[in-house]
Structure 1
Protein backbone atom coordinates (compact mmCIF):
# COMPACT_ATOMS: atom_id res chain seq x y z
CA UNK A 1 0.00 0.00 0.00
CA UNK A 2 1.23 3.48 -0.84
CA UNK A 3 1.84 5.95 1.95
CA UNK A 4 -1.36 7.64 3.06
CA UNK A 5 -0.67 11.36 3.33
CA UNK A 6 -2.38 12.79 6.38
CA UNK A 7 -2.82 16.24 7.87
CA UNK A 8 -3.78 16.76 11.52
CA UNK A 9 -5.75 19.95 12.17
CA UNK A 10 -5.89 20.55 15.92
CA UNK A 11 -5.32 23.77 17.90
CA UNK A 12 -4.46 21.98 21.14
CA UNK A 13 -0.84 20.88 20.79
CA UNK A 14 -1.19 18.11 23.40
CA UNK A 15 -4.12 16.58 21.49
CA UNK A 16 -2.20 16.98 18.24
CA UNK A 17 0.77 15.13 19.76
CA UNK A 18 -1.52 12.39 21.09
CA UNK A 19 -3.04 11.83 17.66
CA UNK A 20 0.40 11.87 16.08
CA UNK A 21 1.68 9.22 18.51
CA UNK A 22 -1.32 6.95 17.85
CA UNK A 23 -0.62 7.16 14.12
CA UNK A 24 3.11 6.49 14.54
CA UNK A 25 2.44 3.48 16.76
CA UNK A 26 -0.46 1.85 14.93
CA UNK A 27 -0.41 3.04 11.31
CA UNK A 28 2.95 2.60 9.58
CA UNK A 29 1.22 3.18 6.24
CA UNK A 30 0.31 6.76 7.25
CA UNK A 31 2.70 9.63 6.64
CA UNK A 32 1.91 12.82 8.56
CA UNK A 33 2.49 15.61 6.05
CA UNK A 34 1.63 18.50 8.36
CA UNK A 35 0.06 19.52 11.68
CA UNK A 36 -2.03 22.71 11.57
CA UNK A 37 -3.72 24.77 14.27
CA UNK A 38 -5.90 27.20 12.29
CA UNK A 39 -8.36 27.37 9.42
CA UNK A 40 -6.09 29.39 7.15
CA UNK A 41 -3.01 27.26 7.79
CA UNK A 42 -5.04 24.12 7.15
CA UNK A 43 -6.38 25.42 3.83
CA UNK A 44 -2.85 26.32 2.73
CA UNK A 45 -1.39 22.94 3.75
CA UNK A 46 -4.25 20.94 2.20
CA UNK A 47 -3.85 22.73 -1.13
CA UNK A 48 -0.09 22.20 -0.97
CA UNK A 49 0.12 18.56 0.16
CA UNK A 50 -3.12 17.16 -1.32
CA UNK A 51 -3.64 14.72 1.57
CA UNK A 52 -5.54 11.43 1.46
CA UNK A 53 -6.82 11.77 5.01
CA UNK A 54 -7.67 14.69 7.29
CA UNK A 55 -7.96 14.43 11.09
CA UNK A 56 -9.97 17.53 11.79
CA UNK A 57 -10.92 19.29 15.01
CA UNK A 58 -14.34 20.91 14.64
CA UNK A 59 -13.65 24.04 16.74
CA UNK A 60 -10.51 26.04 15.93
CA UNK A 61 -9.31 29.43 17.18
CA UNK A 62 -10.20 31.22 13.92
CA UNK A 63 -13.29 29.28 12.84
CA UNK A 64 -14.54 25.73 12.38
CA UNK A 65 -13.60 22.72 10.33
CA UNK A 66 -16.59 23.42 8.08
CA UNK A 67 -14.96 26.70 7.03
CA UNK A 68 -12.02 24.62 5.81
CA UNK A 69 -14.10 22.15 3.84
CA UNK A 70 -16.07 24.93 2.13
CA UNK A 71 -12.87 26.51 0.85
CA UNK A 72 -11.07 23.41 -0.41
CA UNK A 73 -11.78 22.02 -3.87
CA UNK A 74 -11.86 19.29 -4.96
CA UNK A 75 -12.56 17.20 -1.86
CA UNK A 76 -10.11 14.39 -2.62
CA UNK A 77 -9.57 13.27 0.96
CA UNK A 78 -11.46 11.49 3.74
CA UNK A 79 -12.12 13.12 7.09
CA UNK A 80 -12.18 12.00 10.70
CA UNK A 81 -13.82 14.77 12.72
CA UNK A 82 -12.77 15.34 16.33
CA UNK A 83 -14.61 17.35 18.98
CA UNK A 84 -15.01 17.77 22.72
CA UNK A 85 -18.47 19.27 22.24
CA UNK A 86 -21.74 17.32 22.11
CA UNK A 87 -23.65 19.77 19.96
CA UNK A 88 -25.67 20.01 16.76
CA UNK A 89 -22.61 19.57 14.55
CA UNK A 90 -21.95 16.14 16.03
CA UNK A 91 -25.48 15.00 15.18
CA UNK A 92 -25.12 16.41 11.67
CA UNK A 93 -21.92 14.41 11.20
CA UNK A 94 -23.42 11.20 12.53
CA UNK A 95 -26.51 11.54 10.32
CA UNK A 96 -24.21 11.91 7.32
CA UNK A 97 -22.31 8.71 8.18
CA UNK A 98 -18.97 10.54 8.33
CA UNK A 99 -16.30 9.34 10.75
CA UNK A 100 -16.16 11.03 14.15
CA UNK A 101 -14.43 10.68 17.52
CA UNK A 102 -14.97 12.51 20.82
CA UNK A 103 -12.29 14.22 22.88
CA UNK A 104 -10.78 13.47 25.34
CA UNK A 105 -9.81 10.54 23.20
CA UNK A 106 -10.62 6.95 23.81
CA UNK A 107 -7.64 5.74 21.81
CA UNK A 108 -9.36 2.54 20.73
CA UNK A 109 -12.18 4.63 19.25
CA UNK A 110 -9.63 6.87 17.52
CA UNK A 111 -7.84 3.83 16.05
CA UNK A 112 -11.18 2.41 14.87
CA UNK A 113 -12.19 5.72 13.26
CA UNK A 114 -8.87 6.03 11.41
CA UNK A 115 -9.07 2.39 10.31
CA UNK A 116 -12.57 2.95 8.97
CA UNK A 117 -11.49 6.09 7.12
CA UNK A 118 -8.61 4.18 5.50
CA UNK A 119 -11.04 1.46 4.41
CA UNK A 120 -13.20 4.14 2.79
CA UNK A 121 -10.45 5.97 0.88
CA UNK A 122 -12.06 4.80 -2.36
CA UNK A 123 -15.63 5.44 -1.18
CA UNK A 124 -17.59 6.54 -4.26
CA UNK A 125 -20.39 7.93 -2.07
CA UNK A 126 -18.23 10.30 -0.05
CA UNK A 127 -19.37 13.48 -1.77
CA UNK A 128 -22.96 12.43 -1.03
CA UNK A 129 -22.05 12.17 2.65
CA UNK A 130 -20.43 15.62 2.67
CA UNK A 131 -23.43 17.15 0.89
CA UNK A 132 -25.72 15.59 3.49
CA UNK A 133 -23.49 16.91 6.26
CA UNK A 134 -23.74 20.49 5.01
CA UNK A 135 -27.48 20.20 4.50
CA UNK A 136 -27.84 19.16 8.14
CA UNK A 137 -25.71 22.05 9.35
CA UNK A 138 -27.35 24.73 7.25
CA UNK A 139 -31.04 23.74 7.02
CA UNK A 140 -33.92 22.89 9.32
CA UNK A 141 -34.88 19.72 7.42
CA UNK A 142 -32.45 17.08 8.70
CA UNK A 143 -31.40 14.31 6.38
CA UNK A 144 -30.07 10.85 7.16
CA UNK A 145 -28.11 8.40 5.04
CA UNK A 146 -29.41 4.84 5.00
CA UNK A 147 -27.03 2.08 3.91
CA UNK A 148 -28.48 -0.37 1.44
CA UNK A 149 -26.88 -3.59 0.25
CA UNK A 150 -25.03 -1.96 -2.60
CA UNK A 151 -25.77 1.75 -2.31
CA UNK A 152 -26.48 4.63 0.03
CA UNK A 153 -29.57 6.80 -0.11
CA UNK A 154 -30.39 10.11 1.52
CA UNK A 155 -33.81 10.66 3.09
CA UNK A 156 -35.38 13.62 4.82
CA UNK A 157 -36.01 12.42 8.35
CA UNK A 158 -39.66 13.50 8.19
CA UNK A 159 -40.15 11.20 5.15
CA UNK A 160 -39.62 8.14 7.34
CA UNK A 161 -42.87 6.86 8.88
CA UNK A 162 -41.64 3.74 10.66
CA UNK A 163 -38.90 1.15 10.71
CA UNK A 164 -38.94 -2.60 11.25
CA UNK A 165 -36.04 -4.75 12.42
CA UNK A 166 -35.61 -7.78 10.17
CA UNK A 167 -32.94 -10.41 9.64
CA UNK A 168 -29.89 -8.80 8.08
CA UNK A 169 -30.97 -5.20 8.68
CA UNK A 170 -34.12 -3.08 8.76
CA UNK A 171 -36.92 -1.95 6.49
CA UNK A 172 -37.86 1.73 6.56
CA UNK A 173 -41.32 2.68 5.34
CA UNK A 174 -41.81 6.14 3.80
CA UNK A 175 -44.63 8.66 3.59
CA UNK A 176 -45.05 7.95 -0.15
CA UNK A 177 -45.66 4.24 0.70
CA UNK A 178 -42.27 3.15 -0.64
CA UNK A 179 -39.76 1.34 1.54
CA UNK A 180 -35.98 1.04 1.75
CA UNK A 181 -33.99 -1.92 3.03
CA UNK A 182 -31.06 -0.84 5.20
CA UNK A 183 -28.33 -3.41 5.68
CA UNK A 184 -27.50 -2.16 9.18
CA UNK A 185 -29.54 -3.03 12.30
CA UNK A 186 -32.43 -0.79 13.33
CA UNK A 187 -30.59 0.08 16.56
CA UNK A 188 -27.88 1.84 14.51
CA UNK A 189 -30.43 4.42 13.43
CA UNK A 190 -32.55 4.54 16.58
CA UNK A 191 -30.19 6.80 18.54
CA UNK A 192 -30.03 9.32 15.68
CA UNK A 193 -33.76 9.33 14.98
CA UNK A 194 -34.86 9.56 18.62
CA UNK A 195 -33.92 13.25 18.56
CA UNK A 196 -36.42 13.73 15.73
CA UNK A 197 -39.55 12.42 17.49
CA UNK A 198 -38.98 8.72 16.83
CA UNK A 199 -39.85 6.13 19.47
CA UNK A 200 -38.99 2.43 19.84
CA UNK A 201 -42.50 1.20 20.62
CA UNK A 202 -41.55 -2.48 20.33
CA UNK A 203 -38.25 -4.40 20.07
CA UNK A 204 -38.96 -4.78 16.33
CA UNK A 205 -40.47 -1.37 15.54
CA UNK A 206 -39.45 2.28 15.52
CA UNK A 207 -42.11 4.88 14.74
CA UNK A 208 -42.20 8.55 13.78
CA UNK A 209 -44.49 10.11 16.38
CA UNK A 210 -45.37 12.90 13.96
CA UNK A 211 -46.78 10.29 11.57
CA UNK A 212 -49.11 8.62 14.08
CA UNK A 213 -52.83 8.85 13.26
CA UNK A 214 -54.31 6.98 16.20
CA UNK A 215 -53.56 4.45 18.95
CA UNK A 216 -55.89 1.52 19.65
CA UNK A 217 -55.14 0.28 23.21
CA UNK A 218 -57.43 -2.75 23.08
CA UNK A 219 -55.52 -4.12 20.09
CA UNK A 220 -52.11 -2.69 21.06
CA UNK A 221 -51.88 -1.16 17.60
CA UNK A 222 -50.64 2.18 16.30
CA UNK A 223 -52.17 3.37 13.05
CA UNK A 224 -49.83 5.53 10.98
CA UNK A 225 -50.95 8.26 8.58
CA UNK A 226 -50.03 5.98 5.67
CA UNK A 227 -52.55 3.43 6.90
CA UNK A 228 -49.88 1.01 8.16
CA UNK A 229 -50.47 -0.56 11.57
CA UNK A 230 -47.63 -1.17 14.02
CA UNK A 231 -47.70 -3.24 17.21
CA UNK A 232 -46.50 -1.68 20.46
CA UNK A 233 -45.50 -3.31 23.74
CA UNK A 234 -48.01 -2.84 26.55
CA UNK A 235 -45.29 -1.73 28.97
CA UNK A 236 -44.37 1.14 26.64
CA UNK A 237 -47.94 2.46 26.32
CA UNK A 238 -47.72 5.25 28.91
CA UNK A 239 -44.43 6.52 27.50
CA UNK A 240 -45.89 6.37 24.00
CA UNK A 241 -48.90 8.50 24.99
CA UNK A 242 -46.72 11.00 26.87
CA UNK A 243 -44.39 11.39 23.89
CA UNK A 244 -47.30 11.74 21.46
CA UNK A 245 -48.71 14.57 23.55
CA UNK A 246 -45.32 16.30 23.67
CA UNK A 247 -44.78 15.91 19.93
CA UNK A 248 -48.12 17.53 19.23
CA UNK A 249 -47.50 20.41 21.65
CA UNK A 250 -44.19 21.25 19.98
CA UNK A 251 -45.18 20.42 16.39
Structure 2
Protein backbone atom coordinates (compact mmCIF):
# COMPACT_ATOMS: atom_id res chain seq x y z
CA UNK A 1 0.00 0.00 0.00
CA UNK A 2 1.40 3.36 -1.03
CA UNK A 3 1.35 6.07 1.63
CA UNK A 4 -0.48 9.27 0.74
CA UNK A 5 1.46 12.23 2.11
CA UNK A 6 -1.12 14.76 3.28
CA UNK A 7 -1.06 18.40 4.40
CA UNK A 8 -3.90 20.27 6.13
CA UNK A 9 -4.09 24.06 5.74
CA UNK A 10 -6.83 25.86 7.66
CA UNK A 11 -6.77 28.84 10.01
CA UNK A 12 -9.33 27.21 12.35
CA UNK A 13 -7.80 24.71 14.76
CA UNK A 14 -11.15 22.92 15.24
CA UNK A 15 -11.44 22.43 11.49
CA UNK A 16 -7.94 20.96 11.32
CA UNK A 17 -8.74 18.68 14.25
CA UNK A 18 -11.88 17.44 12.51
CA UNK A 19 -9.97 16.52 9.34
CA UNK A 20 -7.30 14.78 11.43
CA UNK A 21 -9.94 12.79 13.32
CA UNK A 22 -11.51 11.63 10.05
CA UNK A 23 -8.07 10.63 8.72
CA UNK A 24 -7.00 8.86 11.90
CA UNK A 25 -8.45 5.49 10.85
CA UNK A 26 -7.09 5.67 7.28
CA UNK A 27 -4.00 3.46 7.21
CA UNK A 28 -2.67 4.78 3.92
CA UNK A 29 -2.69 8.46 5.01
CA UNK A 30 0.39 10.12 6.48
CA UNK A 31 -0.19 13.67 7.74
CA UNK A 32 3.16 15.40 7.21
CA UNK A 33 1.98 18.75 8.54
CA UNK A 34 -0.88 21.05 9.50
CA UNK A 35 -0.75 24.82 9.09
CA UNK A 36 -2.86 27.80 10.07
CA UNK A 37 -2.13 30.15 7.17
CA UNK A 38 -1.31 30.11 3.49
CA UNK A 39 2.29 31.26 3.83
CA UNK A 40 3.23 28.37 6.13
CA UNK A 41 1.23 25.99 3.96
CA UNK A 42 2.98 27.10 0.78
CA UNK A 43 6.40 26.60 2.35
CA UNK A 44 5.39 23.10 3.51
CA UNK A 45 4.05 22.15 0.07
CA UNK A 46 7.33 23.18 -1.53
CA UNK A 47 9.25 21.17 1.06
CA UNK A 48 7.18 17.98 1.28
CA UNK A 49 5.50 17.80 -2.17
CA UNK A 50 2.40 16.12 -0.69
CA UNK A 51 0.09 13.79 -2.58
CA UNK A 52 -3.02 15.41 -1.08
CA UNK A 53 -3.86 18.82 0.39
CA UNK A 54 -6.91 19.78 2.44
CA UNK A 55 -7.17 23.52 1.87
CA UNK A 56 -9.38 26.24 3.34
CA UNK A 57 -10.38 29.15 1.09
CA UNK A 58 -10.67 32.19 3.33
CA UNK A 59 -7.53 32.54 5.43
CA UNK A 60 -5.47 35.48 6.70
CA UNK A 61 -2.32 36.56 4.83
CA UNK A 62 -2.94 34.32 1.82
CA UNK A 63 -6.20 32.78 0.59
CA UNK A 64 -6.46 29.25 -0.74
CA UNK A 65 -6.77 30.44 -4.34
CA UNK A 66 -3.84 32.84 -3.98
CA UNK A 67 -1.77 29.94 -2.68
CA UNK A 68 -2.64 27.93 -5.80
CA UNK A 69 -1.32 30.74 -7.98
CA UNK A 70 2.10 30.39 -6.38
CA UNK A 71 2.48 26.63 -6.85
CA UNK A 72 4.88 25.50 -9.57
CA UNK A 73 2.91 22.36 -10.42
CA UNK A 74 -0.62 20.97 -9.90
CA UNK A 75 -1.57 19.19 -6.67
CA UNK A 76 -4.56 17.15 -5.54
CA UNK A 77 -6.69 19.65 -3.59
CA UNK A 78 -9.76 19.05 -1.44
CA UNK A 79 -11.20 22.41 -0.46
CA UNK A 80 -12.71 22.70 3.03
CA UNK A 81 -14.65 25.90 3.59
CA UNK A 82 -17.75 27.46 5.09
CA UNK A 83 -18.42 29.46 1.91
CA UNK A 84 -20.43 27.76 -0.83
CA UNK A 85 -19.92 30.60 -3.36
CA UNK A 86 -16.40 29.38 -4.21
CA UNK A 87 -17.44 25.90 -5.34
CA UNK A 88 -17.55 26.65 -9.07
CA UNK A 89 -14.19 28.39 -8.92
CA UNK A 90 -12.70 25.44 -7.04
CA UNK A 91 -13.81 22.92 -9.67
CA UNK A 92 -12.57 25.21 -12.44
CA UNK A 93 -9.19 24.75 -10.76
CA UNK A 94 -9.84 21.00 -11.10
CA UNK A 95 -10.23 20.42 -7.36
CA UNK A 96 -10.70 16.82 -6.24
CA UNK A 97 -13.69 17.86 -4.13
CA UNK A 98 -15.27 20.76 -2.25
CA UNK A 99 -16.34 20.11 1.34
CA UNK A 100 -18.74 22.63 2.83
CA UNK A 101 -18.33 23.02 6.59
CA UNK A 102 -19.63 21.42 8.68
CA UNK A 103 -19.23 18.17 6.71
CA UNK A 104 -20.01 14.67 7.92
CA UNK A 105 -17.67 11.70 8.13
CA UNK A 106 -19.55 10.03 5.30
CA UNK A 107 -19.15 13.07 3.05
CA UNK A 108 -15.46 13.23 3.97
CA UNK A 109 -14.95 9.57 3.05
CA UNK A 110 -16.53 10.27 -0.33
CA UNK A 111 -14.00 13.05 -0.95
CA UNK A 112 -11.16 10.79 0.17
CA UNK A 113 -12.28 8.09 -2.27
CA UNK A 114 -12.17 10.63 -5.10
CA UNK A 115 -8.71 11.72 -3.96
CA UNK A 116 -7.39 8.16 -4.01
CA UNK A 117 -8.78 7.65 -7.52
CA UNK A 118 -7.12 10.87 -8.67
CA UNK A 119 -3.79 9.97 -7.07
CA UNK A 120 -3.80 6.53 -8.67
CA UNK A 121 -4.44 7.97 -12.12
CA UNK A 122 -2.26 10.47 -13.91
CA UNK A 123 -3.75 13.87 -14.70
CA UNK A 124 -4.52 14.52 -18.33
CA UNK A 125 -3.01 17.49 -20.14
CA UNK A 126 -6.44 19.19 -20.12
CA UNK A 127 -6.72 18.79 -16.35
CA UNK A 128 -3.25 20.24 -15.79
CA UNK A 129 -4.13 23.18 -18.02
CA UNK A 130 -7.25 23.85 -15.93
CA UNK A 131 -5.19 23.95 -12.75
CA UNK A 132 -2.44 26.18 -14.09
CA UNK A 133 -4.79 28.60 -15.83
CA UNK A 134 -5.92 29.98 -12.42
CA UNK A 135 -9.44 30.64 -13.68
CA UNK A 136 -8.37 33.45 -16.04
CA UNK A 137 -11.67 33.22 -17.91
CA UNK A 138 -13.63 34.30 -14.83
CA UNK A 139 -14.91 37.88 -14.63
CA UNK A 140 -14.46 38.05 -10.86
CA UNK A 141 -12.81 41.33 -9.81
CA UNK A 142 -9.67 41.17 -7.72
CA UNK A 143 -8.59 43.56 -4.96
CA UNK A 144 -5.00 42.36 -4.58
CA UNK A 145 -2.27 40.59 -6.53
CA UNK A 146 0.08 37.94 -5.12
CA UNK A 147 3.60 37.88 -6.57
CA UNK A 148 6.40 35.43 -5.84
CA UNK A 149 10.03 36.33 -6.49
CA UNK A 150 12.68 33.87 -5.33
CA UNK A 151 11.90 33.18 -1.66
CA UNK A 152 9.77 36.29 -1.15
CA UNK A 153 6.01 36.66 -1.52
CA UNK A 154 4.40 40.08 -1.92
CA UNK A 155 0.67 40.69 -1.55
CA UNK A 156 -0.07 43.91 -3.43
CA UNK A 157 -3.31 45.79 -2.83
CA UNK A 158 -4.83 47.01 -6.09
CA UNK A 159 -5.17 50.55 -4.74
CA UNK A 160 -1.36 50.67 -4.36
CA UNK A 161 -0.77 49.99 -8.07
CA UNK A 162 0.05 52.83 -10.48
CA UNK A 163 0.04 50.91 -13.77
CA UNK A 164 0.76 47.60 -15.53
CA UNK A 165 3.16 47.12 -18.42
CA UNK A 166 3.03 44.15 -20.81
CA UNK A 167 6.29 42.18 -21.14
CA UNK A 168 5.78 39.17 -23.40
CA UNK A 169 4.12 36.43 -21.29
CA UNK A 170 4.53 38.52 -18.14
CA UNK A 171 3.23 41.79 -16.76
CA UNK A 172 5.31 44.28 -14.81
CA UNK A 173 3.32 45.81 -11.96
CA UNK A 174 4.41 49.29 -10.88
CA UNK A 175 3.56 50.43 -7.36
CA UNK A 176 4.54 53.44 -5.28
CA UNK A 177 7.35 51.44 -3.67
CA UNK A 178 8.73 49.39 -6.55
CA UNK A 179 7.86 46.98 -9.33
CA UNK A 180 6.94 43.29 -9.50
CA UNK A 181 6.91 40.79 -12.36
CA UNK A 182 3.86 38.52 -12.63
CA UNK A 183 3.25 35.67 -15.07
CA UNK A 184 -0.15 36.83 -16.26
CA UNK A 185 -1.50 38.54 -19.35
CA UNK A 186 -2.69 42.12 -19.72
CA UNK A 187 -6.03 40.67 -20.83
CA UNK A 188 -6.34 38.94 -17.46
CA UNK A 189 -5.83 42.15 -15.49
CA UNK A 190 -8.01 44.17 -17.86
CA UNK A 191 -10.92 41.80 -17.24
CA UNK A 192 -10.30 41.37 -13.50
CA UNK A 193 -9.93 45.04 -12.51
CA UNK A 194 -12.64 47.66 -12.16
CA UNK A 195 -13.16 49.52 -15.44
CA UNK A 196 -14.04 52.61 -13.45
CA UNK A 197 -10.58 52.58 -11.84
CA UNK A 198 -8.29 51.30 -14.62
CA UNK A 199 -8.01 52.12 -18.32
CA UNK A 200 -6.15 50.30 -21.10
CA UNK A 201 -4.48 53.33 -22.65
CA UNK A 202 -2.16 51.32 -24.90
CA UNK A 203 -1.56 47.68 -25.80
CA UNK A 204 1.40 47.86 -23.41
CA UNK A 205 -0.18 49.87 -20.58
CA UNK A 206 -3.08 49.53 -18.17
CA UNK A 207 -3.13 52.55 -15.87
CA UNK A 208 -4.94 53.45 -12.67
CA UNK A 209 -6.96 56.50 -13.66
CA UNK A 210 -6.55 58.39 -10.40
CA UNK A 211 -2.77 58.29 -10.92
CA UNK A 212 -3.00 60.41 -14.08
CA UNK A 213 -1.93 64.03 -13.60
CA UNK A 214 -2.04 65.26 -17.21
CA UNK A 215 -2.96 64.20 -20.72
CA UNK A 216 -0.63 65.89 -23.23
CA UNK A 217 -0.23 65.92 -27.03
CA UNK A 218 2.93 64.22 -28.26
CA UNK A 219 3.98 64.70 -31.88
CA UNK A 220 1.27 64.53 -34.57
CA UNK A 221 -2.03 62.93 -33.41
CA UNK A 222 -0.25 61.21 -30.53
CA UNK A 223 -0.75 61.60 -26.80
CA UNK A 224 0.95 60.72 -23.55
CA UNK A 225 -0.26 60.65 -19.96
CA UNK A 226 1.83 62.10 -17.16
CA UNK A 227 1.39 60.30 -13.87
CA UNK A 228 1.48 61.98 -10.49
CA UNK A 229 4.81 60.21 -9.96
CA UNK A 230 6.23 62.01 -13.02
CA UNK A 231 6.33 58.98 -15.32
CA UNK A 232 5.03 59.37 -18.88
CA UNK A 233 3.22 56.63 -20.81
CA UNK A 234 2.20 56.44 -24.47
CA UNK A 235 -1.49 56.52 -25.36
CA UNK A 236 -2.81 54.73 -28.45
CA UNK A 237 -5.70 56.10 -30.53
CA UNK A 238 -8.15 53.64 -29.07
CA UNK A 239 -6.68 54.23 -25.61
CA UNK A 240 -7.22 57.96 -26.08
CA UNK A 241 -10.90 57.39 -26.88
CA UNK A 242 -11.35 55.15 -23.83
CA UNK A 243 -9.53 57.59 -21.59
CA UNK A 244 -11.53 60.57 -22.82
CA UNK A 245 -14.75 58.71 -22.12
CA UNK A 246 -13.55 57.62 -18.68
CA UNK A 247 -12.37 61.11 -17.75
CA UNK A 248 -15.53 62.62 -19.28
CA UNK A 249 -13.48 65.04 -21.41
Partner in structure 1 of residue 12 of structure 2? 12
Tell me if structure 1 keeps the 8 A contact 2:69–2:134.
no
Residue 138 of structure 1: how far off its partner (Å):
3.3
Q: Does 1:112 align with 2:105?
A: no
Tell me if structure 2 keeps the 8 A contact 1:93–1:133.
no
Higher helix share: 1
1:203-222 → structure 2 map (5 Å cutoff): none
Q: Does 1:132 align with 2:160?
A: no
Q: Distance in 2 between matches of 1:91 and 1:134?
A: 16
Residue 20 of structure 1: how far off its partner (Å):
0.3
Partner in structure 1 of residue 242 of structure 2? none
Partner in structure 1 of residue 28 of structure 2? 29
Tell me if structure 1 keeps the 8 A contact 2:53–2:76.
yes
Q: Residue 69 and residue 95 in structure 1: after superposition, are their counterparts in 2 closer, same or farther (change >3 A)?
A: closer
Partner in structure 1 of residue 58 of structure 2? 59
1:53-92 → structure 2 map (5 Å cutoff): 53-75=52-74, 77-87=75-85, 89-92=86-89
Question: Rg bigger for which structure?
Answer: 2
Tell me if structure 2 keeps the 8 A contact 1:58–1:82.
yes
Partner in structure 1 of residue 207 of structure 2? none
Deviation string, structure 1 residues 206-246 (Cα, Å, up to 9, x no partner): xxxxxxxxxxxxxxxxxxxxxxxxxxxxxxxxxxxxxxxxx
Partner in structure 2 of residue 230 of structure 1? none
Q: Residue 71 and residue 135 in structure 1: after superposition, are their counterparts in 2 closer, same or farther (change >3 A)?
A: closer
Where in structure 2 are there 5+ consecutive unaligned residues?
A: 141-249
Q: Distance in 1 between matches of 2:2 and 2:123?
A: 22
TM-score normalized by the length of structure 2: 0.50
Where in structure 1 are there 5+ consecutive unaligned residues?
A: 143-251
Deviation string, structure 1 residues 90-113 (Cα, Å, up to 9, x no partner): 112235552111111122111110
Partner in structure 1 of residue 177 of structure 2? none
**Secondary structure of the structure 2 residue equivalent to 1:138:** coil
Q: Residue 96 and residue 43 in structure 1: after superposition, are their counterparts in 2 closer, same or farther (change >3 A)?
A: closer
Partner in structure 2 of residue 177 of structure 1? none
Tell me if structure 2 keeps the 8 A contact 1:9–1:35.
yes
Partner in structure 1 of residue 224 of structure 2? none
Tell me if structure 2 keeps the 8 A contact 1:84–1:104.
yes
Provide the alpha-carbon RMSD of the alignment. Answer: 2.4
TM-score normalized by the length of structure 1: 0.50
Tell me if structure 1 keeps the 8 A contact 2:93–2:135.
no
Residue 128 of structure 1: how far off its partner (Å):
3.2
Q: Distance in 2 between matches of 1:129 and 1:114?
A: 19
- 4+ aligned runs moved over 4 Å, structure 1: 133-136
Partner in structure 2 of residue 40 of structure 1? 39
